[in-house]
Structure 1
Amino acid sequence: MLQLHVKNETSKLKAVILGTAKSNGPVPAEHEAYDPKSLEHIKAGTYPSEEDMIVEMEALNTVFKKYNVEVFRPELIENYNQIFSRDIGFVIDDLFIKANILPERAREQDAIQYIINRIDPAKVITPPEEAHIEGGDVILWDDHIFVGTYKGSDYKDYITARTNTQGVDFIKKLFPHKTVKEFDLMKSRIEPRDNALHLDCCFQPVGKDKGVIYKSGFREEADYMYLVNLFGSENLFHIEREEMYHMTSNFFSIDTNVVVIEKNFIRLKKWLLKNGFTVEEVPYAEIAKQEGLLRCSTLPLIRD
């Protein structure tokens, strides 16, 4: 049996599900794009090739091996995008919560069922149908759970709005002893630079008391200020609009002092090194064209 244990984003990683880019399928048609950044690259003819994305994901896998992390991969579905394992489920404490994802993506969950079968069934939770929630919107900080959402009345019209208020309420009921704080995110169907697809696209903690944040990703200044007050402005690294577009806050922590980043994040790297972190760099810019990066393609199961 897998004994799940995840309390935060940065404790030492022991086991993780890493997505796969193999048999990723043809370039989607414009109407099949799930987000504005993929659409931008489909239109421009710069959508990433399977070959390039496989190389990028194997680079991350190599880093995991270096740190003795047990890595699970989804079973292969022919011609199907299975890169972003964070969307399909997430672990809080010792519970595996299945995400209510876009119906077109339900097969991705079937491909990790062999892993879920190794978890005590009492610890596997399926939210009610009306509660939409994806792993990229759920960030753990010990006694806090941060949840990204979209409260606009046009929620149902936005394919980029992934977690609704019912999803937030579901988490609040499931973890009454924790502080569950929701953040209303900026969404755009057409401009990726103004679309925080998930909370981890505009905020993520790092180390024991620091974080990386994009102020304009929040619809309400009060939500942004909540994090500034909680972490302290001196502990937050602020990213710019273009850095947010390249997914700079979507790095991944292997330990409190070890962070994996995309190799082009020069400014972030400098700040991390200055603050005493060990930085592992991997190429992930092709995968980033689908509006997801390192955190999006990983689903931690066990952290010390």
Structure 2
Amino acid sequence: MTEIFVESEFAPLRTVVAAQSEVAIPASVQDSPDMRFLPEDSLRLNPIGQDMRDGAPERQAAWEREREALCAVLARHGVRVLRPRMLTEAEKAAAGDDGYANFFARDPFFTIGNHVIEASMRFRHRRTEVLPMRDIMREQVYPADCGYVAVPMPEIAEPGDPTLGPGPFLEGGDVLVLGEQVLVGVSGLASNALGAQWLAKYLAPHGYTVEVVRLDERILHLDCALGLIRPGLLVVCEQALLDGLPETLRDWRRITVDFDAATRLATNGLPLGPDVYVTDPEFAFLGEKLEDHGVRVEYVDFAITRSLGGSFRCSTQPLLRRN
């Protein structure tokens, strides 16, 4: 039986769900201000309105190699790696013009302590992204000694409503775990205040507190601005945090990155434990600073993954992180 428990962002990673590489970005996003978090050339590099397999097969193959390279690093460090299934033809057809996604494991569900929580996604092309995870839920989560719940489905928005309605929206990329304290990022692009309120209500009887972290409107998720490396050490883009670091983190040593580096996902690396960290060679400057703090750094080229708006943390969702 799989043990389910996530103690913190940096407790030793033991079991993880690693993303597949499957997406059809809807044509409707081309002129949408909601895409302001993406690198400028992203919508030019990646095909719009069709599956990347069909629109850019060589890029698709290279993207899959990035994910396999990450899985190889995880396996080398003794991490048990689970993969979601692929989308079915019926699921793709049901998506219609909204497009579909099965490309970032972090957001459609998340794990806090021994609670597995299905998310409520804001972007329409990601609202069924949890479905390929359901086999993992049946095989790993149902038999385990843990809770398993889902955020309420979002309300239907009025036509033309740029907010996409009141939600609640709550996505795993916005959720950072530090013991019994949980941080939830809110930028207007993903999780919202109602989603954070739901999480606080659900977790309160279990002894957890939830703190909202307001983000710059160009930042998709909290993990695109803040990463907890190990106790007392973090990487942050302070410009992206509208109220500065949460009080509990203000005496931590910090490695800072500028806003441009944050939008290229510099803070979205993956701790495999308090002494090993995975990042992209694009951020060797960050790796060097981490090594000065005694952290071993593993590098994986994740350029295509990053062009789609996520990186190492986005591509993984832990089921077991504990000492």
Q: TM-score range by the shorter chain?
A: 0.7 to 0.9
2:171 and 2:317 map into 1 onto residues whose CA distance is 11
1:26 and 1:185 map into 2 onto residues whose CA distance is 27
Deviation at 1:28, TM superposition (A): 5.0
| TM-score after normalising by structure 2 | 0.80
2:200 aligns to what? 172
Aligned-residue Cα RMSD (Å) equals: 2.3
> How many residues are aligned here?
281
| Most deviating of 170-179 and 58-67 | 170-179
- Is 1:93 paired with 2:113? yes
Structure 1 counterpart of 2:169, one-letter code: H
What does the per-residue CA deviation read over 1:143-187, in whole Å, with 9 as the maximum and x for residues that have no partner? 31111013xxxx5xxxxx211111111121122222321111111
Aligned match for 2:27, one of 26, 29, 36: 29
Structure 1 counterpart of 2:150, one-letter code: T
Query: Alpha carbons of 1:232 and 1:53: their partners in 2 closer, same or farther (altered >3 Å)?
Result: same
- Is 1:124 paired with 2:148? yes
2:125 aligns to what? 104
Deviation at 1:39, TM superposition (A): 7.6
Deviation at 1:2, TM superposition (A): 2.8
1:167 and 1:181 map into 2 onto residues whose CA distance is 12
Query: Alpha carbons of 1:111 and 1:226: their partners in 2 closer, same or farther (altered >3 Å)?
Result: closer
What does 1:36-47 correspond to in 2, within 5 Å?
36=36, 38=38, 40-45=40-45
What does the per-residue CA deviation read over 1:80-121, in whole Å, with 9 as the maximum and x for residues that have no partner? 532211110000000110001134323321111111113138
1:158 aligns to what? none
Structure 1 counterpart of 2:274, one-letter code: T
- Is 1:13 paired with 2:32? no
Deviation at 1:35, TM superposition (A): 2.6
Unaligned runs of 5+ in 2: 48-55, 93-99, 154-166
Aligned match for 1:146, one of 183, 188, 200: 183
- Is 1:53 paired with 2:77? no
- Is 1:114 paired with 2:135? yes
Contact 2:39 / 2:307 at 8 angstroms: preserved in 1? no
1:232 aligns to what? 251
Residue aligned with 1:9, SS: coil
Structure 2 counterpart of 1:93, one-letter code: G
Contact 1:35 / 1:290 at 8 angstroms: preserved in 2? no
What does the per-residue CA deviation read over 1:224-279, in whole Å, with 9 as the maximum and x for residues that have no partner? 1435x63426x011101221121100000111111001111121111110000011
Unaligned runs of 5+ in 1: 156-160, 188-194
Structure 1 counterpart of 2:202, one-letter code: L
Structure 2 counterpart of 1:238, one-letter code: T
1:269 aligns to what? 287
Deviation at 1:302, TM superposition (A): 0.5
Residue aligned with 1:84, SS: coil
2:65 and 2:37 map into 1 onto residues whose CA distance is 21
Residue aligned with 1:224, SS: coil
Contact 2:42 / 2:307 at 8 angstroms: preserved in 1? no
| TM-score after normalising by structure 1 | 0.85
Contact 1:201 / 1:244 at 8 angstroms: preserved in 2? yes
- Is 1:243 paired with 2:264? no
2:39 and 2:289 map into 1 onto residues whose CA distance is 32
Query: Alpha carbons of 1:99 and 1:17: their partners in 2 closer, same or farther (altered >3 Å)?
Result: same
Identity %: 25
1:25 and 1:270 map into 2 onto residues whose CA distance is 33
Contact 1:35 / 1:291 at 8 angstroms: preserved in 2? no
What does 1:62-73 correspond to in 2, within 5 Å?
62-73=72-83
Deviation at 1:298, TM superposition (A): 0.5
Residue aligned with 2:41, SS: helix
Query: Alpha carbons of 1:214 and 1:105: their partners in 2 closer, same or farther (altered >3 Å)?
Result: same
Aligned match for 2:211, one of 169, 181, 199: 181
